[in-house]
Amino acid sequence: MIRIERPAWDVIVSHARSKYPDECCGAMLGSIDGAAKRVRIAVPMENAYSGPQGARYELRPQDLLAAESEARAKGMDLVGIFHSHPDCDAYFSDTDLKNSCPWYSFVVVSICKGEFDHANSFLPNADQTAADKEELIF
């Protein structure tokens, strides 16, 4: 289960809306208590994918490392990654799976015609062959 606190959720949705019709991405910082995760801070990041960004995103490894240090400095953890799917369902694509990390939660936000529609969170397995949906509360 992953719970995203209101201020963090607002940052995620406004970042996703501002980047529409491109995909946005970012990191989620907070706490992990067994299977219960709580996101307190969302950190918008630049989509570093060099091609058309309407259906692809890429995170710079150094941006992720910076988010990890920020989390540690605040006594938090890097809980997961978020990205948006413009005019598309919030599913976990094959590309998403291939570019995932098994130890993070992946929140996908569907933005339809520039507005928030729905969101899901996924937990990729260790060999990145499948991702289970995880309960998402926001």
**Chain residues that interact with Zn ion, rule: CB under 5 A:** 93, 96
Which CB, 93 or 128, lies closer to Zn ion? 93
Give me the least distance between CB of 72 and Zn ion, in Å please. 27
Point out the residue whose Cβ comes nearest to Zn ion.
Answer: 96
Nearest distance from C-beta of residue 36 to Zn ion, angstroms? 25
Instruction: Provide the edge-to-edge strand list for the sheet that holds 25-33.
Output: 131-134, 115-124, 105-112, 77-86, 25-33, 36-45, 2-4, 136-137
Pairwise CA distance, residues 71 & 68, whole Å: 5
Rounded Cα distance, 31 and 33, in Å: 7
CB of 69 to Zn ion, least distance (A): 26
State in angstroms the smallest separation of the CB of 83 from Zn ion.
5
**Sign (positive/negative) of CA torsion 4, 41, 29, 26?**
positive
CB of 89 or CB of 135, closer to Zn ion? 89
Residue 102, preceding peptide bond in cis (omega within 30° of 0):
no
**Cβ proximity to Zn ion, 24 vs 76, nearer residue:** 24
